[in-house]
Amino acid sequence: MDEYAFGVLTNIGLLSFVALSAYLLLVAGELSFGQQAFFGVGAYAAGIGTAMLGWPLPLAALGAMACGALAAAVVGLPALRLRGLYFAMATLAAAEMLRIAFELLHWQVEVDGEPVGPDGTQGFRGIRWVFEHGVEPAGFLALVWSLLALVLALIFLAERSRLGTAVRALGQDAELAASLGIDVLRFKLGVIAASGALAALGGALFAHHNTYIEPRNFDIMLGVHSLAYALIGGLGTALGPLLGVALDIGVLEGSRFLQEYRMIVFGGLVALLLVFRPRGILDERLVHRLTRR
Amino acid sequence: MALLVDFIQNTLDGLALGASYALLALGFTLVFGVLRRANLAYGPAIMLGAYAAAWAGQSFHLGLIALFGITVGVTVLAGAYVERLCFAPHRKGSAIAAMVASFALWMQLEEAATLAMPRHLYAFPGLHDGGMLTLGPLFLGVEAIVMLAAAAAVCVALWLLLYRSRFGIAVRALIDSPSAAELSGINVGAVSIAVFALASAIGGIAGFLIVSSHEQLTPMLGMWSTLKGMLAMMLGGLGSLPGAVAGGLVLGLIEAHSQWYLGPQFRDFLAYLLLFVLLSLRPPWMNTRSAY
């Protein structure tokens, strides 16, 4: 495999984290336009951890996840009382506020005689932990995908448990779920915090893959893309979001055919696909049929 | 005294800006009210219309009236395409699928426009040659006056159409209750298509006024129009026509004042903060308990 293939596969993995975070909320019946912000919180927090405070990457990634979960819970506490598009707009407003906060954030320290840290719209350079510790592209790719596998395993376990059943019930009909004794707000708060932590983990890895992040990386385009990935791939299984990302990044960009007409072809295909499969390729019905014995 | 003059000047600027937001929000809220679906491709359709007009203007040296016609016409055509592919198939189905489909077409329309005209900035003819109306220490650009007048004219025309015609009764019935409207014999499909075309035309008018008062056109127009339209619509309450106008004007006033008193970076921040706080407080004009 060449450098390019490593890059494409790593990108698929990184975007899958934020697509999965959108998927978790969709399964719980909520539409978020704000997952990009938690991705950004993770990227900034992990970058500050390794490049400025000298923490090892695992510790910085854990810290980033905690920050992502906290940010998501703070947004979710008022926003989860809202429904549908109102919730989506509340998450968008919060995400844009966070992005503007990144633009206003100036905090730099001297590291080896150079200033390192977030510098407003100039971005945050020099997040070099991965390179300083001799991690090859193949090694980083393996790290991203093993973490992704771990996350998937956890989601699969959760979906098979009472917890997963409760969350799916919420997504289908919140009133009915409440009448069955499910504490709607508490479960949704749990889901949004988990989705924040998940997006933040992706952001932490993204920051260390790119070594450079800037507020523009975390605008609404990323959020709506992750929502689209989750829905295209399908809401029946956590593999759906991965399929969505792989279709966009892997097949179309990876093969480099169509080139500039990529979005024209892909956009039309997605709209057509949703006419026939409004809950994605791997929707609940297909997944149920495939897993039934 | 100078403070007061600044305040009044900012208020005038904010109202002019808000008039453009109000127009964008009117188109957005009409579609939302009737279809209960958010059309994310609304801004990109406007962008395609403005790009087509800029291209035609460059190629054939057309006048303003022709450019206006092309902007509105192409926006309506793009809107019809979006309606057929994203909203007609999902009318009774999933709102999320319709919205994500409209996002897919957003990407498509934006790509089509930027492929045809790849530069980052295009000049667009202005409405006037830079004249200003002065009233003592206050200034008001001609384009601001045109924007306010156009917004008022569109509101009056829309009010007449919606409150003084049979078509308007059908539209308002649909906004109140789609199922009751259908039961009373309203052709929901046909009204939906007409409303979509009407909303696209209003969007096209807004787009033309915005790019000709900025005298320039950038690829950001699509995302900008969708975001500002949604924000203004949301501030006034989803699906409410007077709410869209009020939301647009409030948004314009906040942006103008916060830019002047707090600096450009707080311009958007304050608008989003207000939206988030308002949504959290759930004021009565935002029917936040209904599941859209």
**DSSP string of B71-109, one letter each residue:** HHHHHHHHHHHHIIIIISTTSSS-HHHHHHHHHHHHHHH
- The ipTM, to two decimals, is 0.89
Kindly state the tokens that stand for B145. 């006056």
Q: Is A257's pLDDT higher than 80?
A: no
Distance CA A233, CA B186 (A): 37
Question: Which B-chain residues 158-217 have CB contacts (< 8 A) with chain A?
Answer: none
- Where does the pLDDT of residue B291 fall: very low under 50, low under 70, confident under 90, or very high at 90 and above? very low
Q: Is A258's pLDDT higher than 70?
A: no
Residue A18 CB contacts under 8 Å (≥ 6 apart), including other chains: A35, A36, A39, A198, A199, A202, A203, A222, A226
Region for B110 from its dihedrals, namely left if φ exceeds 0, alpha if ψ lies in -120 to 50, beta otherwise: alpha
Which residue, among B85, B188, B190, B104, has the nearest Cα to A276 in the 3D structure?
B85
Q: For residues B208-221, give the mean pLDDT.
A: 90
Residue B87 CB contacts under 8 Å (≥ 6 apart), including other chains: B35, B37, B39, B98, B102, B192, B196
Q: For residues B2-27, give the mean pLDDT.
A: 90
Region for B291 from its dihedrals, namely left if φ exceeds 0, alpha if ψ lies in -120 to 50, beta otherwise: beta
B290: which chain A residues are within 8 Å (Cβ-Cβ)?
83-84
Quick check: B41 contacting A, CB < 8 Å?
A: no
Provide the whole-model pTM. 0.89
Strands B132-135, A109-111: pairing kind? unpaired
H or E element in which residue B63 lies: none
pLDDT by residue (tens digit) across B169-179?
Answer: 998 888 888 88
More confident residue, A33 or B287: A33
| DSSP 8-state secondary structure symbol assigned to residue A259 | G
Residue A250, classified by CB atoms within 10 Å of its CB into exposed (0-12), middle (13-18) or buried (19+), is middle
CA distances (Å), B152 to each of B16, B98, B159, B163, B164, in order?
11, 31, 10, 16, 17
Report CB contact under 8 Å: A271, B234: no
Question: How close does chain B come to A100, measured CA to CA in Å?
Answer: 7
pLDDT by residue (tens digit) across B164-210?
Answer: 999 999 988 888 888 888 898 899 889 989 999 999 999 999 999 99
**Among chain B residues, CA nearest to A93:** B272
Q: For residues A218-240, give the mean pLDDT.
A: 90
Distance CA A202, CA A16 (A): 8
Question: Residue A155 carries which side chain, given as an amino acid letter?
Answer: I
Distance CA B205, CA B76 (A): 10
Question: Residue A5 carries which side chain, given as an amino acid letter?
Answer: A
Residue B77 CB contacts under 8 Å (≥ 6 apart), including other chains: none
pLDDT by residue (tens digit) across A122-178?
Answer: 999 889 898 888 888 889 999 999 999 999 999 999 988 888 888 888 888 888 888
Please state the φ and ψ torsions of residue B164, each to the nearest 5 degrees. Answer: -130, 20
Report CB contact under 8 Å: B275, A86: no
pLDDT at B129: 66
Report CB contact under 8 Å: A89, B279: yes
pLDDT at B24: 94
Q: Average per-residue pLDDT in chain A?
A: 89
Question: How close does chain B come to A26, measured CA to CA in Å?
Answer: 9
Question: How close does chain B come to A12, measured CA to CA in Å?
Answer: 19
A94-98, B38-42, B125-129, range with the lowest pLDDT: B125-129
- Where does the pLDDT of residue B130 fall: very low under 50, low under 70, confident under 90, or very high at 90 and above? low
**Among chain A residues, CA nearest to B38:** A85
pLDDT by residue (tens digit) across B56-67?
Answer: 988 888 888 999
B98: which chain A residues are within 8 Å (Cβ-Cβ)?
274
CA distances (Å), B44 to each of A248, A270, B90, B116, in order?
20, 17, 20, 14
- Mutation target to probe the B interface, by most B beta carbons within 10 A, among A102, A275, A276 is A275
CA distances (Å), B84 to each of A45, B78, B135, B151, B193, in order?
44, 10, 49, 28, 9
Q: Is B135's pLDDT higher than 80?
A: no
pLDDT at B292: 47
Residue A130 CB contacts under 8 Å (≥ 6 apart), including other chains: A57, A140, A208, A209, A211
Q: For residues A183-191, give the mean pLDDT.
A: 91
- Where does the pLDDT of residue B288 fall: very low under 50, low under 70, confident under 90, or very high at 90 and above? low
Interface residues of chain A, partner chain B, Cβ below 8 Å: 26, 31, 78-79, 81-86, 89-90, 92-94, 96-97, 100-101, 103-104, 220-221, 224, 227-228, 231-232, 260-264, 266-272, 274-275, 278-279
pLDDT at A256: 60
Distance CA B91, CA B138 (A): 50
Kindly state the tokens that stand for A30. 């909520």
B232: which chain A residues are within 8 Å (Cβ-Cβ)?
none
Distance CA A38, CA A226 (A): 12
Residue A103 CB contacts under 8 Å (≥ 6 apart), including other chains: A120, A121, A215, B265
Q: For residues B234-262, give the mean pLDDT.
A: 89
Q: For residues A189-207, give the mean pLDDT.
A: 96
Report CB contact under 8 Å: B105, A271: yes
- Where does the pLDDT of residue B91 fall: very low under 50, low under 70, confident under 90, or very high at 90 and above? confident
pLDDT at A60: 96
Please state the φ and ψ torsions of residue A239, each to the nearest 5 degrees. Answer: -75, -20
Question: Which B-chain residues 44-103 have CB contacts (< 8 A) with chain A?
Answer: 85-86, 89-90, 93-103
Q: For residues A268-291, give the mean pLDDT.
A: 87
